[in-house]
Amino acid sequence: MADSPALVAAQEQFRDELIAHGLLIPSGVPGLYGRSHIFEDVIERFDDLITASAKDDKAERIRFPPVINRAHFEHSQYLKSMPQLAGAVHSFAGTPAEHEKLLQLVHEGQDWTGCLKMTDVVLTPAACYPLYPMLAEQAALGPEGRLMDVYSYCFRHEPSPDPARMQIFRMREFVRVAPDPGQVRVWRDLWLERGLGILAAIGLDCSTAPANDQFFGRGGRMLAVNQRDQQLKFEAVYPMTSTERPTALLSFNYHQDHFGTLYGIKSREGAVVHTACVGFGMERVALALFKTHGFHTNAWPTSVRQSLWPSA
């Protein structure tokens, strides 16, 4: 469902206010912005707040760069379900004569796609994607499974005037992997509560709602209905620019054995593991803070400031 003209106008107004206050820097491409040091500080402090809230879990902290192995990505079925959002990386590997042709096309403002070849990498679609092939390569899991902490820039090709729908944005994720589906679901449900608490501590009162991914095409509608019926995906949503169409700040996904089966992640007993993830949309949380508490962080409510800058 496309956004209504009134909603688009509200999104554009918020975007323009963020730019006027110097928090986002326009790039000339919809959904691509530079960030001011104030915007970045809010993101970093919120990242710290998440870390502090999850400290006792002792998750394994790993960081992946914003591109991943293309072969792993092809294997992920992302191209089946959300091909329109993916970003493949192409490079030039031609002769000097082909280089001349490339430069000529660029000079004439023509499409130079034909001069490039696909590389072995694609942009990271979600922070947890590089994790599953890694887990499959490592030792089989014990009965308690593993708990992972990842964070990276993610790419989604969906140019939009909505500042909350960036083409490239950061996602902080925790991922639970275990042979016992019950353990994985319990962990996801624990985060449903904890996630709302973290957001409430910074003055963002969210509600949770069943949700579905933006599956592509006619077959995608079936997948979406199935995902909702089975309550596999929830989102913590916040009325950023609309109460009717609130924005997801945090999503909770129970994948069942989807990634376990795809990549062959198994327990020591040979059982396919179940997985779930919880992911914070970092830019969206920062935007919700500016929208709610104003464009000047030093005028934010004391309780919010104490949560984000505890040592100040």
Binding site for a second copy (CB under 8 A): 25-29, 32-37, 39-40, 60-72, 74, 79-80, 83-93, 96, 99, 102-103, 106, 111-113, 116-121, 123, 130, 133-134, 137, 153, 155, 157, 159, 167-169, 216-218
Three-state DSSP class for 24? Answer: strand
Q: Using CA atoms, how far apart are residues 44 and 298, in angstroms rounded to an integer? A: 16
| Shortest distance (Å) from residue 68 CB to a second copy | 7
The Cα-based distances of 106 to 29, 88, 119 in angstroms read 18, 20, 20
Token pair belonging to 212: 């579905």
H or E segment to which residue 68 belongs: strand 67-69
| Shortest distance (Å) from residue 310 CB to a second copy | 16
Nearer to a second copy, 60 or 229 (CB): 60
- What single letter denotes the amino acid at residue 173? E
Contact 57, 278 (CB under 8 A): no
| Shortest distance (Å) from residue 141 CB to a second copy | 17
Nearer to a second copy, 142 or 301 (CB): 142
| Shortest distance (Å) from residue 205 CB to a second copy | 29
Q: Using CA atoms, how far apart are residues 178 and 267, in angstroms rounded to an integer? A: 8
Q: Using CA atoms, how far apart are residues 158 and 267, in angstroms rounded to an integer? A: 38
b (16+ CB within 10 A) / e for 68-77: beeebbeebe
Q: Using CA atoms, how far apart are residues 310 and 304, in angstroms rounded to an integer? A: 10
Nearer to a second copy, 237 or 277 (CB): 277
Nearer to a second copy, 148 or 196 (CB): 148
Nearer to a second copy, 4 or 77 (CB): 77
- What single letter denotes the amino acid at residue 302? T
Contact 275, 184 (CB under 8 A): yes
| Shortest distance (Å) from residue 292 CB to a second copy | 22
Nearer to a second copy, 41 or 180 (CB): 41
| Shortest distance (Å) from residue 32 CB to a second copy | 6
Nearer to a second copy, 28 or 182 (CB): 28
Length of the chain: 312
Nearer to a second copy, 153 or 234 (CB): 153
| Shortest distance (Å) from residue 247 CB to a second copy | 19
Q: Using CA atoms, how far apart are residues 305 and 292, in angstroms rounded to an integer? A: 13
| Shortest distance (Å) from residue 206 CB to a second copy | 25
| Residue 256 CA from chain centroid, whole number | 19
